[in-house]
């Protein structure tokens, strides 16, 4: 935290989560400590790299303002994650009822009898995905990695078991489908054979113009019709 006669700024450092080829943002909080209107202006040593919104403004007496700083996506990681960029926050008392449109660069010129407060904030990079903390060793002195290995082995065994069960069920399903297909084909063949025999019988009966049908012929026709109906239902 930086504090002066006019404003208080939090935090004292601008910390950016650093990740290659990704934008990153952080914010600063400005508090007006006076009972007057205070104008502020934010500058940086590397203006092409950062976007500040708002970079100027007026804070009412006792009020606060949040400033968002966005760092453009970077193509290279700096050595040791160190950054030399800095920000300068200037503040000055302005006439009451002043607005952002009334702010000019000359307002922040240092003159005799005029207080222009300045704070320098440095930039700090922090890893975007910090590594997880290393677990401590157990009381017996053995690292907990063994437990992790046991869990991994158990998970692998369960996975293999599930895969084996799935393959077995798949094999059984295929065998059942093959069996039903063969039975269907056999039934169709039997049905076709019975139809042929029935046609032959009909032609033979047709050649007999006199007399009724013999009893054995009627029985044979009935049996054939029953068998055809049975096989057709199965198909």
Q: pLDDT tens for residues 171-186? A: 677 777 777 777 777 7
Residue positions counted in the chain: 235
Structure tokens at 29: 């909080």
**pLDDT higher than threshold 50 for residue 107:** yes
Q: Which residue has the higher pLDDT, 32 or 127?
A: 32
Rounded CA-CA distance 164/144 in Å is 31
Q: Which residue has the higher pLDDT, 174 or 211?
A: 174
Q: Would you list the DSSP string of 77-134?
A: PPGGG----EEEEEEEEE-TT--GGG--GGGG---TT--EEEEEEEEEEEESSPPPPP
The model's confidence at residue 201, banded by pLDDT at 50, 70 and 90, is confident
CA 124 to each of CA 38, 52, 83: distance values in angstroms, whole numbers, following the listed order: 28, 16, 6
Q: Give the pLDDT of residue 184.
A: 74
Q: Give the pLDDT of residue 199.
A: 77
**Mean pLDDT (whole number) for 162-169:** 62
> What are the boundaries of each domain within the chain?
2-127, 164-234
Percent of the chain beyond pLDDT 90?
Answer: 46
Rounded CA-CA distance 93/95 in Å is 7
Q: Give the pLDDT of residue 157.
A: 64
Strand partners, 19: none
Q: Which residue has the higher pLDDT, 67 or 197?
A: 67
Q: What is the chain's mean pLDDT, rounded? A: 80
- Residue position matching structure tokens 């009893």: 215
Q: Render pLDDT for 75-88 as a digit per residue (tens, 0 to 9).
A: 988 888 899 999 99
Q: Give the pLDDT of residue 235.
A: 56
Rounded CA-CA distance 183/186 in Å is 5
Q: Give the pLDDT of residue 195.
A: 77
**Mean pLDDT (whole number) for 201-211:** 66
Q: Give the pLDDT of residue 6.
A: 94
Q: Which CATH superfamily is domain 2-127 in?
A: Immunoglobulins (2.60.40.10)
**pLDDT higher than threshold 70 for residue 234:** no
- 116 phi-psi bin (left φ>0, alpha ψ -120 to 50, beta other): beta
Rounded CA-CA distance 6/93 in Å is 8
What separation, in Å, do the N-terminal and C-terminal C-alpha atoms of the chain show? Answer: 86
Q: Render pLDDT for 126-152 as a digit per residue (tens, 0 to 9).
A: 987 765 555 555 444 445 454 455 556
8 Å CB contact between 50 and 82: no
Q: Give the pLDDT of residue 42.
A: 96
**pLDDT higher than threshold 60 for residue 39:** yes
């Amino acid at each position: 935290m930086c504090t002066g006669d006019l404003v208080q700024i939090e935090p004292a450092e601008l910390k950016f989560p650093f990740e290659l080829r990704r934008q990153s943002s952080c914010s600063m909080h400005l508090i007006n400590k006076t009972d007057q209107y205070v104008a502020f202006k934010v500058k940086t040593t590397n203006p092409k790299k950062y976007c500040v919104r708002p970079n100027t403004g007026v804070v009412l007496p006792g009020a606060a303002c949040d400033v968002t700083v966005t760092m453009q996506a970077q193509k290279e990681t700096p050595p040791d994650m160190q950054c030399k960029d800095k920000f300068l926050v200037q503040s000055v008392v302005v006439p009451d009822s002043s607005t952002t449109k009334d702010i000019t660069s000359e307002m922040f010129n240092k003159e005799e009898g005029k207080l222009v407060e300045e704070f320098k904030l440095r930039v700090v990079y922090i890893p975007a995905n910090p590594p997880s903390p290393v677990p401590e060793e157990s009381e017996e002195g053995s690292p907990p990695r063994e437990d992790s290995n046991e869990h991994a082995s158990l998970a692998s065994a369960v996975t293999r078991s599930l895969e084996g069960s799935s393959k077995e069920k798949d094999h059984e399903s295929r065998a059942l489908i093959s069996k039903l297909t063969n039975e269907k084909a056999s039934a169709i063949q039997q049905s076709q054979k019975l139809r042929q025999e029935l046609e032959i019988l009909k032609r033979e009966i047709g050649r007999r113009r006199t007399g009724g049908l013999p009893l054995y012929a009627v029985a044979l026709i009935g049996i054939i019709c029953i068998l055809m109906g049975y096989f057709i239902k199965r198909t």
